[in-house]
Chains A and B, each alone.
Chain A
Amino acid sequence: MKKILLTLLFILFGTTAYADGHCSKPSGSINILANDFPALRTFVETAKGCKGSADFKVTHSSEHNKIAVPALTANPSEFSARIAANSSIVPLMNQDLIRPMDDLVKKYGKGIQDSQLITIDGKVMAVAFMANTQHLYYREDVLKELGIPVPKTYEEVVAASEKIRASGKMQHPYAAAYKAGWNLAEEFVNMFIGHGGEFFKAGTAEPNINNAKGVATLNMLKKLASLSNPDYLTHDSEAIKVEWESGKVALMTLWASRSGTLLDDEGDAKITAATKLTGPATVGGGNIPAATLWWDGFTLAKNRSDSDAEASFIALAHAASNKKMVADAADQAVWLVEGFVPGPKSIGVIEAVKMGAKPYPMLPQMGLMHGALGSEIVEFLQGKESAEQALKDVEAAYISKAKEQGFL
């Protein structure tokens, strides 16, 4: 018995020693700003395992977007590193707040794969470690009982939801994060891209959404909204997750990164067992999914000493190339790290990539468009104005903002 214990200990010790293999013991001070969901917590925890003698701090906040620009503008900046995504790297690039890290990648980035590097104009600006997208979730039991096939298009989602409603099983069978503001705008972006729309006239910052594709997008959103809980304009991802877990929803569009918390042991076991994942739906006869691909990656603050940047890079690169982490937390995210074996929870993202989903547009003026969408299409969904009027309002609101920011 003692021998077995000793061997076990040895193995454990051995693996830690192995995991430490990439870590070159940094010193200085590391302070990370990150969004708050399970995969990112795991990632930052892994990075902490390689903090060496450095002072290690982290801020996980769902309000990270509001903090990032002001905190990184200060000199020296509050954070030495920021975990960003396609959209949130843009304001950092616009304001010149992050530093290229080619030399650090060369020096310490041994385990990082080339595909993880986000390069802009030939310079490495971020290292991605996970992919994300929004895709469909469905209740297998409900669909089977009513003889509905798993929907592949949003038209089928609408038909299926109407059937479920008509059967009297559920009053509001569909859910998506339609909270006015960022979430609602994100749904528009997905649906618009699914219709093959381009947000700006080629090569300019002129808006290009007030057209047939924009109208079709809005009409589809409205149809889906009418099949959702009437409070949909106040529901974010967390709220619809709760609705799902209470068994009031049978079809849902939600982030892949939330699947872990949907399928964990908490909550009603029957619902969890019947919760199934599938790829994102297409819309309007298009062949690319009405969804955008996202990556999460780390960036380094410009207004911080070189030694802090180096320390942060060592710790974060240790996590971004950590085979043990991706093996242990395989169901938390779709890791882009070498050695990741996709499990059943990553089906959504993998399907999306296979179907040729487009990444979220990484354009300097996209944030302004996203903001304008979030507030101006609400009145259309409430039935207070026409689709054309709503799109005209979005364009007008965007143009004023873009003029003030010097894009037009």
Chain B
Amino acid sequence: MPNKTFFWFFLPTGLAMILFIGLPIISTGIQSFYAQHDQVVKEVKKCDPFGCTVSIVVDQEATSVLRDERPLGKFNGFGTYFDRNHLAIEQITEFWDETDTLGDFIDQVTNLPFYKALLFTLTYCLFVTPNVLLLGFIIALSLNAISRKIRGPLIFGTILPMIVTPLVGSLVLFWMIDAEGIIGANLQLMMEDPYLSLKSSRTLTWITIIIYGIWHHSPFAFVVFYAALQTVPQEPVEAAIIDGASRYQRIRHIVLPHIYPVVTFVALISLMDNFRVFEPIIGFSAEGSAQSLSWLIYDNLVNEEVILFGSAAATSMMTIIGIAILLAPVLIRTWKEFRTAR
């Protein structure tokens, strides 16, 4: 396609991307460098049905003057990024000096909210992504091998987890693993431990969410792999059969190299998706044991009665940077291959 044609072809999408993705990111970025003005408070008398007390309120007149002067708030630079609820530079230096062993140091650091969330997010990505790829590929191969007659209904059944709304899917499982639920109660019986709870132990909660994640995301990988398998040319496969190649050898040396670009694509998309893990945490009410970066943003925006825009913006920016770092190796590799192909 000549460059000029491409430009006009891409223009509408490009404009929409700038408007709906680019500008909000820039605005979030700017927001993350600001904090609220210093609150001006005054002592007043407050009366309610239970009596009167002298207490403090925010002085609205003084505050509105400040707000009108600088509506964005007080410039804070990287203050929010470096504070205890984010990168916690100060605290980490302190821990480094205070602790004797590396284990202690890691314990202390992962006790900080940002690193706690990062640890869960990365663990989730690390376990879910490869398993999704593997499981999706195995399902695609098996379905590709069975008779065409029953393939339709089976495909439908396989992509069901993706059709079910994530929140509903996780809620169903949540009720089942409750100590009074079918899985939870049976596990207690089997282990003969009435205090066993999948929800109260951190490790078990993590495992539950990861298994849920694999269950939910595999159909996507399956659909893409299944489509890719349809394009595998039959001649080399037949030639390989004649040469006496086993099924494994055929997959390893013919099918996989053929669908390799698709694998990269699925890996990229799942990595991005998994890094933003959020719904299962809400669905499983797992806030206590598992927090992700997206959940931190949500918490700052809605869980507090006071909305922390600066905090939420800073975490958003770091999530974007995190995704970029995670994707970098794959992107660089794709780019190199693209260059050599030319």
Q: State whether A86 touches B287 (Cβ < 8 A).
A: no
Tell me which of B56, B179, B289, B291 contacts A363 (CB under 8 A). B56
Q: State whether A397 touches B113 (Cβ < 8 A).
A: yes
Q: State whether A88 touches B305 (Cβ < 8 A).
A: yes
Tell me which of B50, B197, B299 contacts A230 (CB under 8 A). B197
Contact with B along A371-408 (1 / 0, CB 8 A): 10011001100101100010001001101110111110
Please judge, given known A-B contacts A234-B199, A234-B285, whether A406 and B36 are in contact too, CB under 8 Å: yes
Q: Is B38 engaged at the interface, CB distance under 8 Å to the other chain?
A: yes
Contacts of A405 in B (CB 8 A): 35-36, 39, 306, 308
Contacts of A362 in B (CB 8 A): 46, 48, 55
Q: Is B252 engaged at the interface, CB distance under 8 Å to the other chain?
A: no
Among B10-18, B77-85, B214-222, B329-337, the stretch in contact with A:
B77-85
| B63 CB, nearest partner CB in chain A, Å | 8
Contacts of A181 in B (CB 8 A): 287, 303
Q: State whether B307 touches A69 (Cβ < 8 A).
A: yes
Q: State whether B179 touches A231 (Cβ < 8 A).
A: yes
| A367 CB, nearest partner CB in chain B, Å | 3
| B40 CB, nearest partner CB in chain A, Å | 9
Q: How far is the CA of A119 from the CA of B46 in the complex (A)?
A: 6
Contacts of A385 in B (CB 8 A): 111
Q: Is B323 engaged at the interface, CB distance under 8 Å to the other chain?
A: no
Q: Is B102 engaged at the interface, CB distance under 8 Å to the other chain?
A: no
Number of A-B contacts (CB under 8 A): 171
Q: How far is the CA of A231 from the CA of B174 in the complex (A)?
A: 11
Tell me which of A117, A232, A367, A375 contacts B306 (CB under 8 A). A367
Q: How far is the CA of A389 from the CA of B104 in the complex (A)?
A: 14
| B294 CB, nearest partner CB in chain A, Å | 15
Nearest chain A residue, comparing its CB with the CB of B37: A406
Tell me which of A118, A234, A336, A364 contacts B57 (CB under 8 A). A364
Q: Is B70 engaged at the interface, CB distance under 8 Å to the other chain?
A: no
Q: Is B74 engaged at the interface, CB distance under 8 Å to the other chain?
A: yes
Contacts of B51 in A (CB 8 A): 359
Q: State whether B57 touches A93 (Cβ < 8 A).
A: yes
Nearest chain B residue, comparing its CB with the CB of A178: B288
Please judge, given known A-B contacts A182-B303, A231-B178, whether A397 and B85 are in contact too, CB under 8 Å: yes
Output the residue of B46, B80, B196 with the most chain A CB within 10 A. Answer: B46
Q: State whether A131 touches B49 (Cβ < 8 A).
A: yes
Tell me which of A246, A378, A406 contacts B39 (CB under 8 A). A406
Q: State whether B47 touches A353 (Cβ < 8 A).
A: no
Q: State whether A378 touches B50 (Cβ < 8 A).
A: no
Tell me which of A66, A246, A364 contacts B58 (CB under 8 A). A364
Q: State whether A367 touches B46 (Cβ < 8 A).
A: no
| A357 CB, nearest partner CB in chain B, Å | 8
Contact with A along B140-178 (1 / 0, CB 8 A): 000000000000000000000000000000000010001
Tell me which of B41, B44, B179, B311 contacts A229 (CB under 8 A). B179
Contacts of A90 in B (CB 8 A): 305
Contact with A along B61-87 (1 / 0, CB 8 A): 001100000000010100010011100
Please judge, given known A-B contacts A90-B305, A231-B178, whether A336 and B85 are in contact too, CB under 8 Å: no
Q: How far is the CA of A93 from the CA of B37 in the complex (A)?
A: 16
Q: State whether B55 touches A363 (Cβ < 8 A).
A: yes
Q: Is B253 engaged at the interface, CB distance under 8 Å to the other chain?
A: no
**Apart from A181-B287, A359-B48, A368-B304, what are 4 other A-B pairs with CB-CB below 8 Å?**
A118-B48, A131-B49, A234-B178, A364-B56
B residues with a Cβ closer than 8 A to A are 35-39, 41, 44-51, 55-58, 60, 63-64, 74, 76, 80, 83-85, 91, 111, 113, 174, 178-180, 184, 194-197, 199-202, 284-289, 291, 299, 302-308, 310-311
Top 5 closest pairs, chain A to chain B, by CB: A367-B305, A180-B288, A230-B197, A121-B44, A234-B285
- Listed by A's residue number, 7 A-B pairs whose Cβ atoms lie within 8 Å are A117-B47, A118-B49, A234-B285, A363-B55, A375-B287, A382-B201, A404-B311
